[in-house]
A and B are shown apart, each in its own frame.
Chain A
């Protein structure tokens, strides 16, 4: 944990505060429809499956698969200097919601589509934890 963290610090929108508060407590929060059970991410004020306003935040199991991924070989932000190559992935959680993250704890050339992964929280600063994913 370091407060000279050089990567981009997310600026939460009002609707996504529960996600970032959950991350600080190492819980992966996503939204769920109380009417149709649909789960989704990123946050919204309406069920993206059925249009219901009757929605809630729930903790995901944190288990899922890599739906797709890319490997950055070029530096786009100085905070990633020394971290190249790194994998950015679209993770499909077992509840059905998809989210962007990094696959860590494995060489980038071993990352594959449909690979099972689970969440691991990285405490980036004293005020920020990021949900990342490692192979199961």
Chain B
């Protein structure tokens, strides 16, 4: 049993957020994209690289100690710095770690970001395209997978979707409601990669990739990066933007395995959310919007259940009710998410979570009266979860 430290509540703030160009950005490395996002985040805060004494990042997994590469390119010596490797849960965890580092006196102003050049990698050669990933071949498991034709995150998440459909009667149309809702959000985001409307007919007509997932259940392959700046709430008062307070955070890691127990249908978000809510002193009924890690449609549905926005097993009905729209019960992925904006493994969810509370959008994209938001990161090829609860200052 753990007791999260409530003394951290509202003590640290996100003071800047930014992203790089999104989509097909040839001729720029993952590092270059991340620099673009980091400089945009610092500009947003009214700070420069010279103000930064903490650097937490993630980049292409095969680059050793990626934060050292970034520090060298940015000209930053940092009292606190590391590269996180917890899959899509890393980016939200990076913000939590920044707050912990500042609280421990290890740093005072921490830059957190992630960049990836997946579109360029995947489309760089035909072999990569067939694998659907720019990952080197040796990064696939060498046994208990490839010999059975098991490839990619899509299959791992598909197991969860299939079991959820079996246990709770969830349908592909309900997964489709998520794709359609996020595409509608993307149409109001000029930076989003996907520009065309998506109907339920389009969704159901999408070619099957790994059943039960078709094309429109899958997140995008993009070149993109995002970054945020974390400092104390006290210092935030003097900076350019309206600060966004970190009310609470949590993590949960079902690393005994996706195949273990009921982990496929009951994710790390249960533990992670419980911890974050306790630290923040709020519950699901207090959340005004959610930015949920959407590698595949199903993961949105199951995380919404696990964060308590609806009951276990009722995620399908919840998303099909229109809940994810800007005027719905839980406006979700208001930038279009990884399914329709761009995919930086949760980093753009953090950026959008911050911007909603900076209140910078017009009515087509701004969640009305947003005061508290939840951001999730999910990864480790299904089992790791991190949660942030953000509040208006």
The answer to the question of A105 belonging to the interface, with a C-beta cut-off of 8 Å to chain B, is no
* CA gap between A33 and B51 in the complex, in Å: 55
Let me know if A73 and B259 touch, CB within 8 A.
no
Taking the closest CB of chain A, its distance from the CB of B156, in whole angstroms, is 9
Taking the closest CB of chain A, its distance from the CB of B267, in whole angstroms, is 14
Tell me which of B23-31, B160-168, B246-254, B322-330 binds A: B160-168
Let me know if B142 and A75 touch, CB within 8 A.
no
Instruction: Determine the interface band of chain B, counting residues with CB < 8 A from chain A.
Output: 20 to 34
Taking the closest CB of chain B, its distance from the CB of A48, in whole angstroms, is 7
1/0 per position for B142-179, CB-CB distance to A under 8 A? 11111111111011001110110010000000000000
The answer to the question of A90 belonging to the interface, with a C-beta cut-off of 8 Å to chain B, is yes
Let me know if B163 and A113 touch, CB within 8 A.
yes
Q: Which residues between 116 and 146 of chain B lie within 8 Å of chain A, taking CB atoms? A: 130-132, 142-146
Tell me which of B81-89, B208-216, B385-393 binds A: B208-216
Q: In the complex, what residues of B have CB within 8 A of residue A113's CB?
A: 162-163, 166
Q: What secondary structure prevails in chain A residues at the interface with B?
A: mixed
**Which of these, A48, A70, A85, contacts B256 with CB under 8 Å?**
A48
Let me know if B260 and A72 touch, CB within 8 A.
no
Taking the closest CB of chain A, its distance from the CB of B210, in whole angstroms, is 5
Let me know if B143 and A102 touch, CB within 8 A.
no
Q: For B157, give the chain A residue with the smallest CB separation.
A: A70
With contact pairs A76-B132, A83-B149 given, residues A10 and B142 touching in the complex (Cβ less than 8 Å): yes
- Give 18 A-B pairs besides A77-B130, A78-B130 with Cβ atoms closer than 8 angstroms: A8-B147, A13-B143, A20-B143, A68-B162, A68-B166, A70-B159, A70-B212, A70-B213, A72-B155, A72-B210, A75-B130, A76-B130, A79-B149, A83-B149, A100-B144, A100-B145, A112-B166, A113-B166
With contact pairs A68-B159, A68-B264, A71-B210 given, residues A101 and B148 touching in the complex (Cβ less than 8 Å): yes
**Which of these, A9, A69, A76, contacts B162 with CB under 8 Å?**
A69
Q: In the complex, what residues of B have CB within 8 A of residue A85's CB?
A: 211
Q: In the complex, what residues of A have CB within 8 A of residue B207's CB?
A: 73
Let me know if A8 and B146 touch, CB within 8 A.
yes
Q: For A13, give the chain B residue with the smallest CB separation.
A: B143
* CA gap between A67 and B162 in the complex, in Å: 9
Q: In the complex, what residues of A have CB within 8 A of residue B158's CB?
A: 70
Let me know if A70 and B210 touch, CB within 8 A.
yes
Q: In the complex, what residues of A have CB within 8 A of residue B150's CB?
A: 88, 100
The answer to the question of A114 belonging to the interface, with a C-beta cut-off of 8 Å to chain B, is yes
Q: How many A-B residue pairs have CB under 8 A?
A: 103
1/0 per position for B320-345, CB-CB distance to A under 8 A? 00000000000000000000000000
Taking the closest CB of chain B, its distance from the CB of A131, in whole angstroms, is 10
**Which of these, B132, B149, B259, contacts A80 with CB under 8 Å?**
B149
With contact pairs A8-B147, A10-B146, A102-B148 given, residues A74 and B166 touching in the complex (Cβ less than 8 Å): no
Taking the closest CB of chain A, its distance from the CB of B133, in whole angstroms, is 9
The answer to the question of A53 belonging to the interface, with a C-beta cut-off of 8 Å to chain B, is no
Let me know if B149 and A73 touch, CB within 8 A.
no
Taking the closest CB of chain A, its distance from the CB of B296, in whole angstroms, is 11
Q: For B167, give the chain A residue with the smallest CB separation.
A: A113
Let me know if A72 and B212 touch, CB within 8 A.
no
* CA gap between A108 and B158 in the complex, in Å: 15
Taking the closest CB of chain A, its distance from the CB of B166, in whole angstroms, is 4
Q: Give 5 nearest A-B pairs by CB, closest first.
A: A8-B146, A10-B143, A113-B166, A76-B151, A70-B158
Let me know if B211 and A76 touch, CB within 8 A.
no
The answer to the question of A86 belonging to the interface, with a C-beta cut-off of 8 Å to chain B, is yes
Let me know if B143 and A16 touch, CB within 8 A.
yes
* CA gap between A98 and B143 in the complex, in Å: 15
Residue from A20, A88, A114, A132 having most chain B Cβ neighbours under 10 A: A88
**Which of these, B130, B148, B211, contacts A100 with CB under 8 Å?**
B148
Q: In the complex, what residues of A have CB within 8 A of residue B131's CB?
A: 76-77
Let me know if B148 and A74 touch, CB within 8 A.
no
**Which of these, B130, B149, B213, contacts A88 with CB under 8 Å?**
B149
* CA gap between A126 and B266 in the complex, in Å: 42
Taking the closest CB of chain B, its distance from the CB of A109, in whole angstroms, is 9
Taking the closest CB of chain A, its distance from the CB of B164, in whole angstroms, is 9
The answer to the question of A11 belonging to the interface, with a C-beta cut-off of 8 Å to chain B, is yes
* CA gap between A48 and B257 in the complex, in Å: 11
Q: In the complex, what residues of B have CB within 8 A of residue A73's CB?
A: 207-211
Q: For B132, give the chain A residue with the smallest CB separation.
A: A76
* CA gap between A33 and B158 in the complex, in Å: 31
Q: For B133, give the chain A residue with the smallest CB separation.
A: A76
Q: In the complex, what residues of B have CB within 8 A of residue A8's CB?
A: 146-147
Taking the closest CB of chain B, its distance from the CB of A41, in whole angstroms, is 8
